[in-house]
Structure 1
């Protein structure tokens, strides 16, 4: 049950016209960066003044992270790209997918992944930097009547030397990521099978191994458009996971050791998408939302697409990692 001290506040109304996602608190500037994936927008919001600076880009944007040397790194369609904030110009670093040759087994951390590599028609969806400054982001496949094409997504890292490594494949719908506080584990959500996985993670090489399931959520029923699924997540300094449940209107606090729900925070909208710790003490949980439904439903959920802040949780996060390339 939700803590009686937890307070949910709407702080930026209807800032996403389609799919608000990817919040990243820049501890250096005290700004929140977030995206509207389908409207191809990158937002930089100042919670002190309420000012929102907006940059529009030329493709769907699945992830944005600040770059140590300035500017931002994006996942645009299937491209890794840099964004110069002052000019709004994007520059492609590397594209993944059908334009690149099928990787040989020697190029794959997991050689068996070669048999599952099928990334045609995909786009980047969600990502996060690791302790070494790599950007990890994954793809999702085309969406059809039955949902996203199963097994067509992959997980990549953009390394600090600007090379790209395929880290994992056979994914349905790449979503939330979090690195454990001891930097030994990557937690990773594949939304369509409703699973949170954990991998042993080698921070120096970036290799993943020993995949296991932390939590498999029960099937809530409904169509691919309405089913409740785990979306994005973050981690607190106690090592607990905070997971946004898309079509569930809630954020769950989970124990990764047991997979059990420790706390539930409810919202006045259904499409809760992503979470990030922010504020000067990193004890405020920012939550993005979407509004992927007809206008008639929006009348019932007038705060859909808004940004929310949750306080009084008795938890805090760590500064988010930057891209170091």
Structure 2
């Protein structure tokens, strides 16, 4: 196994939300506070970007063209070529929130959550965020509320379970998931890092499944991506990075056997940056011996 830095300090403020686009063999990711969507081509090492007018929480491709992104409190459609941005929905009006992580379920719905203003102590975050689902008919509904930091999303290979992370209480949840309706119910806690050492276990953040049925979770402030048994939460093994603030991960590469990992240098203290100068970089892990699934795309209609 090898860990390499493929783009040093890739996101100027806060790297998040990697999504491997196996149509173009490129990696999409966002710079949250840099208000940008990036597209990295590992063949050419080119890293292109579009800068938007507010924070960017996530980006996913739409099968009918363009990208769906969470920008500020809005879900938008972005045409990469023309740079046209079309607002689809605005949420949480009257609240000081913004979209954070998001992902598509196997049926092609977009799931994305919001969070409130950051606090120096993550445990002090106000629970004013919500989790939303953008259905294929373009309608939007709220699936959860009272969320501190809405983060990672993933679905089991049989499509009957949805996994979801709220980083503020340091927990990952499992829901029974109805593929036909998108309804979630019967929440249970799978990973609970509350009470555990932050330097060792961190705060669960972004995540992804491998084809063996295990789940890979970026643990913010721990320097690690950990592989967990999704039934018990047990840590099967972990990968350490030369940056403490690991944010998310996804499988990519032409064989989907490389793990791409984002990190942040947002408000990293000077002493920490001296010790971890690769904070905010994009990393790639090879030789894990496992593969991931092709990422899902939004299957709804998009603006012309």
CA deviation string 1:144-170 (max 9, x = no partner): 455453321110011112110101111
Is 1:182 aligned with 2:177?
no
**1:221 Cα deviation after fit:** 5.8
Is 1:11 aligned with 2:6?
yes
Aligned counterpart, 2:129: 153
Conservation of the 8 A alpha-carbon contact between 1:19 and 1:36:
yes
**1:280 Cα deviation after fit:** 1.1
Aligned counterpart, 1:103: none
Instruction: Look up the SS of the partner of 1:299 in the other structure.
Output: helix
TM-score by length of 1: 0.88
Aligned counterpart, 1:310: 285
Question: Aligned match of 2:77 in 53, 67, 82?
Answer: 82
Conservation of the 8 A alpha-carbon contact between 1:176 and 1:188:
yes
Aligned counterpart, 2:195: 219
Distance in 1 between residues matched to 2:242 and 2:196, nearest whole Å: 19
Instruction: Look up the SS of the partner of 1:143 in the other structure.
Output: coil
Aligned counterpart, 2:246: 272
Structure 1 range deviating more: 297-306 or 255-264: 297-306
TM-score by length of 2: 0.94
CA RMSD after TM alignment? 1.7
Find the structure with the greater CA-based Rg. 1
Distance in 1 between residues matched to 2:196 and 2:132, nearest whole Å: 30
Conservation of the 8 A alpha-carbon contact between 1:56 and 1:88:
no
**Count of aligned positions:** 298
Distance 1:310 1:121, change over 3 A: same
Instruction: Look up the SS of the partner of 2:272 in the other structure.
Output: helix
Aligned counterpart, 1:324: 299
Conservation of the 8 A alpha-carbon contact between 2:125 and 2:168:
no
- Specify every segment of 5 or more residues in structure 2 that has no aligned partner in the other structure, as ranges: none
Is 1:36 aligned with 2:28?
no
**1:296 Cα deviation after fit:** 4.1
**1:143 Cα deviation after fit:** 2.6
Distance 1:267 1:149, change over 3 A: closer
Aligned counterpart, 2:235: 261
Question: Aligned match of 2:106 in 120, 128, 131?
Answer: 131
- Specify every segment of 5 or more residues in structure 1 that has no aligned partner in the other structure, as ranges: 1-5, 100-119
Distance 1:96 1:317, change over 3 A: same
Distance 1:221 1:256, change over 3 A: closer
- 4+ long deviations beyond 4 Å: 220-223
**1:302 Cα deviation after fit:** 1.4
Distance in 1 between residues matched to 2:277 and 2:284, nearest whole Å: 17
Distance in 2 between residues matched to 1:149 and 1:46, nearest whole Å: 36
Aligned counterpart, 1:298: 273
Distance in 2 between residues matched to 1:270 and 1:28, nearest whole Å: 32
Distance 1:128 1:303, change over 3 A: same
